[in-house]
Amino acid sequence: MSAPPAIANPKWNARFAGHVPHDLSYYNKCLWGGVLACGMTHAAVTPLDVAKTNVQIDPIKYTSSTTALRTIAKEEGAAAVWKGVTPTFVGYSLQGALKFGLYEVFKDLYSNAAGEEYAKQYRAWIWAAGSASAEFFADIALVPFEMTKIKVQTSPRGTWPTAFAPAWTQMWTDRARTGFPFGSLNALWARQIPYTVAKFVFFEQSVSLFYTHLLTNPKETYSKLTQLGVTFASGYIAGVACAVVSHPADSIVSLLGKDGNRGKSVRDLIRETGLWNIATRGLGTRVFMYGTLTGVQWYIYDTWKTMMGLGTTGGK
């Protein structure tokens, strides 16, 4: 007599399948890890962001990132390369909280919906769906700060306030013209959701490959320093991938913030600028910026999780 067919474990729950239970305390700690990972790191690379954004919208005047920084510092003073640092810090702190915190929530939610067998078999799809869902909500929090930041960074000297509060107020006052606070949300979703899916899927897959082919003992047997080294390397790989994936939409977001493009559609901007230019202009700076940025973000996030006793992210 043949054995009955195997059935999935009805008691399996993704929230209790990891290093520690994923309760509200766990999700809350992940949320704060996202704040630390994203707010500080994005603020720290503001000069690179200023350079990249200005190269994207005015490549004739700013032929490279180095030229952009030198020209802006010469014309507006050295402090001008830090334009937009406050909305960057606040916006990406909020975005990081929801990106990382909700990713953990949605990953468990979708894993449980799929069941143990399918959650393992199709884990890349779980990572993609979880990160896309988290970023959808994270961008709603980010978009008014991102719009303010871009306006501050790209407006000619003296035409727009550079301090955060006056710039925010002006964005609201001129909302019929600026589209504030959610006018760029669709473009931001187009940029950030593919970016975040790549960021999380490539990271999780890279960590898995490290522990499958290079560090083949159980992850828990390696030191925290080694595990965090894997985190940083995997984060850098993911950062390069997501920079390339999201760059065209990033260029569109920057172009939408330029005064001369008011009222133009995305199709108009692509036709005028050229698809190749949109996909490649400023890409070198973005790859360096986001490779480093993403590696450091994941390192900070997993360091925080380790300090909180949650363990590092990912594995076989």
Mean pLDDT of 155-170: 93
Q: State the pLDDT at residue 248.
A: 84
Mean pLDDT of 171-180: 94
Query: Per the domain annotation, does 132 fall within a domain?
Result: yes
Q: Give the model's pLDDT for residue 255.
A: 80
pTM reported for the whole predicted model:
0.83
Q: For residue 191, tell me if it sits in a domain.
A: yes
The residue among 250 and 25 whose pLDDT is bigger is: 25
Which residue segment(s) compose the domain that 165 sits in?
20-307
CATH code: domain of residue 97 = 1.50.40.10
Of the listed ranges 15-19, 70-74, 101-105, the one predicted with least confidence: 15-19
Say if 140 falls within a structural domain.
yes
Which residue has better confidence, 72 or 56? 72
Residues 225, 312 contacting (CB under 8 angstroms):
no
Residue ranges in 45-122 assigned as alpha helix (H): 46-57, 65-76, 85-114, 116-121
Q: Does a structural domain hold residue 91?
A: yes
pLDDT band at 244 (very low <50, low <70, confident <90, very high): confident
Mean predicted confidence (pLDDT) in 95-122: 96
Q: Looking at the domain assignment, is residue 2 inside a domain? A: no
Helices (H), the chain: 24-44, 46-57, 65-76, 85-114, 116-121, 123-154, 164-173, 175-178, 185-209, 224-256, 266-273, 275-280, 283-307
Predicted local confidence at residue 200, as pLDDT: 96
- Count of the separate structural domains present in the chain: 1
Contact 248, 278 (CB under 8 A): yes
9 domain-assigned: no
- Supply the pLDDT for residue 296: 94
Residue 5 lies in a domain: no
Mean pLDDT of 219-245: 92
The answer to whether residue 170 sits within a structural domain is yes
